[in-house]
Structure 1
Amino acid sequence: MNVRRAAAARAGLYAGAFLGPFGGGITVAMLPELGASFGISAATASVSVTAYLVPFAAVMLVSGTLGERWGRHRTVVVAYLVYAAASVLAALSTALPVFLAARAVQGLANGFTSPLLLAALASATAPDVLGRAVGWFGSLQAAGQTSAPLLGGVAAEVDWRYAFWGVALVALGLAAVGIPPEERPSGPDVPRPSLRSAWRGDVLRAGIVAALGWGCLSGLNFLVALRVEDAFGLGSGERGLLLTGLGVAGLFTARLIGGAADRIGPRRCVLIGGVLGGLLLIGIGLAPVVWVVAALWALAGVATQFVLVGVNTLVLRGSTTNPAGSMSVVQAVRFGGGALSPLLVTPIYHADPLTAFLLPAALLLVAVPVALPPGPTAAGRPAGDADA
């Protein structure tokens, strides 16, 4: 692979990081327009988000391992082509079941790209700067998550279908670019990646930590929205602007946090994120004025990146036989935790709003250190060398 094509393939890794969360959140701001097109309410149209996220999270239980078996490059390219085809189907849909089926296929395809992109990034990056690369990846994911409602809403001002034509073109471009080639031993004596190699105890513990970091921080955006509406009377536009602060802060700090993971070790980064996030949630539950809630919620984006970048770096450094499989399991558990947050926390909020913030804070302060597995630290050294 020549230098120019290698640079394009590496850039494609980061562009793929953007596309995943962008595709998941693109319908959030166009629910009224979707409802009008399909003759349903905006609330019913919100199932378009669920239709994407459920298969996305479910397939990642096995997608990384399957992608390692089939070959990362081949799997990612096919997944992008399927994603593009599903996006075209969504743009052409005139019936809600067809549209939801297209969203589900988008989620399935993205479930194959995300863990394989991270594994390819780890293979193409020196161990002593892996945290920085994972941080850049996290920044692009935060950018996709933050910009999806904005760009989807802008497209819907003209025709929501344009948003899906746009992501289809991007997916086709990424399929053409591909990813950096993988360098791995081959032959009859080399074992195939197995599900057992991904479903290890330390990987599952890392997934639990990621689920806590996501579900108890970013996943509580609905809870913050309820608090600022009930306590301060904010309207929908004001709530949306306040909630955007978390993604913007994550966008601008993930790369710096990745550098910190290289210097002090990913485990310490996760612990910092857990402590910081717990304290911030307590502050948000007690804050007497809305600007304090806004500031603390933005800082929660920093805490989220400390946890997620730290976990991703820890898992990628610790998995040599099946990195994509390990990452897919971690991501599946992470998004599962995020999906449970509204179901578990909303009844608590209606019973006692402050308790709804204190319980997730306690999980971050207590459960994250307990669940966090040991592993390599700065520059991949064993945990006892720098992160005791």
Structure 2
Amino acid sequence: MRLQRVRVGAVYGGALLGPLGGGVVAPMLPEIGRSVHVSPEAAAASLTAYFIPFALLQLVSGTLGERWGRRRTVRAAYLVYAVGAVVCAAAPSFAVFLAARAVLGTANAFTSPLLLAGLGDIVARDRLGRAVGVYSSCQSAGQSFAPLVGGLVVASSWRLGFVVVAVAAGLLAFAPPPGEPRPAASAPPWRPLVSRRMASLSAAAFLSYTGASALPFMVALYAREELDAGADLTGLALLGFGVAGLVLGAVWGRVTERFGARACGAVAAVVTGVFVAVAGVSGSVGELALWWTLAGAGASMLTVALQSLTLRAVPRNRGGALSAVSAFRFGGGALAPLIWLPIYHVSAAAAFVASAASLLIVLPVLLSLGKPG
């Protein structure tokens, strides 16, 4: 029982580390730029360098990790992550820093889906929904507090932040999730990943991220340009989305266990869409913060529902299913500015309504899955 708790705790720690390591650079960009002799705008490429390999490799990383063995794949990925973080901390040039950030994104592609897949072997089936909810809360915590952590460590040295990340990854390498290599006939199959059910889940994940979770840039623009808010108030308005996910993830896990992940996901898509649309007509920063926080609560439930459905979609290749769907999810995040900014520059309210409408498409997509999750 004690070993099981350690393993579950390590999975939750890994869920937090990935988004923390990815987003911690956001408040450090001016200091990073000065250290490696580039502008803050150029330093922002370090975010792209992390997330492009992270998203693309997840198309295959889960299945490869299942074949190589979850345990040794995740352990190796953590060690690579730790080395990449050390190189970031010591980087003498921007080119080296960018390369090390790409290494971090690559390593994270081989941890995130396999950690969640490992929960299926550690946690009893009747408690799996709430475990997925806690996992989602930890991811939200990483996303929400990465800028805060980065801002705190930059007061002494931005390089210290990567030392902390390296130490955390090194410690987590001692507690990888269970899962031995599966060669030859026992190898997890690729074919079930190309199915109508997986296509529906991938589409729902793409739309959920494009229509809500990837919108902080648009919410920030609205706060600054339409409501004349300062950077500090804008940051506070954005914080509620992630905090809602952090607080409610475990609750949504229990709710999906009781009512079914498919039904909960459908309801969450509609509710989130309503609050995203309303956020685009906010008359004050406080009102915007309220609607955006409520949208975060709905988006958190949608994420938990989709992760629960995906975890059960391909029993013989859970890691492959989770990583493939996650690739589409983060792909939606990468494309969101390209999709919504042209509409926003014509009408801010129209951009929020269009984002909400994309979430409503999730409803028939989930209903097409048939048997509830």
Shorter-chain TM band? over 0.9
- Write out per-residue CA displacement over residues 127-174 of structure 1, whole angstroms, 9 at most, x where no aligned residue: 222110000000000011111110111111110000000000000000
Per the alignment, residue 171 of structure 2 pairs with 173
Choose from 51, 58, 76 the match for 2:49. Answer: 51
Q: Contact 2:197 / 2:313 at 8 angstroms: preserved in 1?
A: no
> C-alpha displacement at 1:374, in angstroms?
5.2
The residue identity in structure 2 corresponding to 1:305 is: S
Per the alignment, residue 134 of structure 1 pairs with 132
Distance 1:183 1:200 in 2: 26
Choose from 309, 312, 327 the match for 2:307. Answer: 312
Choose from 345, 348, 353 the match for 2:343. Answer: 348
Per the alignment, residue 95 of structure 2 pairs with 97
> C-alpha displacement at 1:264, in angstroms?
0.3
Aligned residues: 373
Per the alignment, residue 277 of structure 1 pairs with 272
Q: Contact 1:199 / 1:329 at 8 angstroms: preserved in 2?
A: no
Does the alignment pair 1:332 with 2:330? no
> C-alpha displacement at 1:341, in angstroms?
0.4
Does the alignment pair 1:182 with 2:179? yes
Does the alignment pair 1:234 with 2:232? no
Gaps of 5+ in 1: 377-381
Does the alignment pair 1:302 with 2:294? no
Share of identical aligned residues, percent? 43
Choose from 276, 279, 287 the match for 1:292. Answer: 287
Distance 1:191 1:80 in 2: 25
Gaps of 5+ in 2: none
Q: Contact 2:252 / 2:301 at 8 angstroms: preserved in 1?
A: yes
- Write out per-residue CA displacement over residues 241-284 of structure 1, whole angstroms, 9 at most, x where no aligned residue: 11011011110001100100000000111111111111112211
Task: Give the TM-score normalised by structure 2.
Answer: 0.96
> C-alpha displacement at 1:361, in angstroms?
0.9
Choose from 205, 224, 237 the match for 2:200. Answer: 205
Per the alignment, residue 212 of structure 2 pairs with 217
Distance 1:34 1:204 in 2: 40
Structural mapping, 1:138-157, within 5 Å: 138-157=136-155
Distance 2:143 2:105 in 1: 15
Distance 2:356 2:246 in 1: 23
Per the alignment, residue 372 of structure 1 pairs with 366
Per the alignment, residue 379 of structure 1 pairs with none
Q: Contact 1:199 / 1:326 at 8 angstroms: preserved in 2?
A: no
Does the alignment pair 1:248 with 2:238? no
Task: Give the TM-score normalised by structure 1.
Answer: 0.93
Distance 2:263 2:221 in 1: 32
Structural mapping, 1:33-52, within 5 Å: 33-52=31-50
Distance 1:374 1:70 in 2: 33
- CA-based RMSD of the aligned residues comes to 1.6
